[in-house]
Amino acid sequence: MTVTGTRDFFNQLAEEWDLRIRPEFVRRLHEILQELTLREGAAVLDVGTGTGIALPHLLGRVGVSGSVTAVDISERMLEVARRKLTAPNLHYVMADVAHLPFLDDSFDLVLCNSCFPHFQDQLRAVSEIHRVLKPGGMVVICHPESRDEVNAVHRSAGVAVRRHLLPDNEGMRALFTSLGFQNVQLTDLPDRYVLKAVKPGNAKVSVEGQPIPHERALIS
């Protein structure tokens, strides 16, 4: 499946996408985000935002002094998200994660909820996420299901996404570490998959109650 094929697939699903999102998926996402010590004023990038289910929570956390940028390759998904929510500090951008149109060191947090398996070039995606994160910034890759469940759903969801899989846990740790991330933490439980990793530097994030020195924008 090419990037164009993935875009077509999600464009076709956009209008009905929210009907597929189960209430417990939103609850689990909120729990995952709530554990992040995201401070007012932070700059957040939501990659593969889809219809924007994370956006109200993220905007509430960063406040009016912060910003949220919502990226997706599917213009129809972005249209649905924009119909539901606009704000002066919320920016919608149509882009491929493999070519993010942002300067280096721009964001305190990059979130990828339920989208990492769909990235055509996962190595390039992680490299781009690392580039646009500020030193000390954090990436969170998450799903409201286990890795096995995510992959089982994709394998049975038809030809378009059957090869869109989460690598095994060792592979994910190795991928993020090889591209320069530190503090890679991976949780794979029946009701959630969460990978957190930090770009080294002047740390602004604390991960699961373990503060990293010199925190600034994302404070424990």
Ligand X SMILES: C[S@@+](CC[C@H](N)C(=O)[O-])C[C@H]1O[C@@H](n2cnc3c(N)ncnc32)[C@H](O)[C@@H]1O
67 or 113: CB nearest ligand X: 113
Q: How far is the CB of 113 from ligand X (least distance, A)?
A: 4
- Coil, strand or helix: which one is 151? helix
Q: How far is the CB of 187 from ligand X (least distance, A)?
A: 17
One-letter amino acid of 202: N
Q: Give the footprint of ligand X on this chain (CB under 6 A).
A: 3, 6, 10, 21, 47-50, 53, 71-74, 77, 96-98, 113-115, 118-120
**How many whole angstroms separate alpha carbon 180 and alpha carbon 183?**
10
Taking alpha carbons only, the member of 27, 119, 107 closest to residue 72 is: 119
Residue nearest to ligand X (CB): 50
Whether the Cβ atoms of residue 56 and residue 31 lie closer than 8 Å to each other = no
**How many whole angstroms separate alpha carbon 31 and alpha carbon 83?**
25
39 or 118: CB nearest ligand X: 118
Q: How far is the CB of 212 from ligand X (least distance, A)?
A: 26
**How many whole angstroms separate alpha carbon 165 and alpha carbon 146?**
12
Q: How far is the CB of 46 from ligand X (least distance, A)?
A: 7
Q: How far is residue 134 from each of residues 59, 65, 110, 130, 203, measured CA to CA in Å?
A: 19, 17, 10, 8, 9
183 or 193: CB nearest ligand X: 193
161 or 207: CB nearest ligand X: 161
160 or 219: CB nearest ligand X: 160
50 or 137: CB nearest ligand X: 50
Whether the Cβ atoms of residue 138 and residue 108 lie closer than 8 Å to each other = yes
Element (H, E) at 205: none
Q: How far is the CB of 169 from ligand X (least distance, A)?
A: 20
Q: How far is the CB of 142 from ligand X (least distance, A)?
A: 9
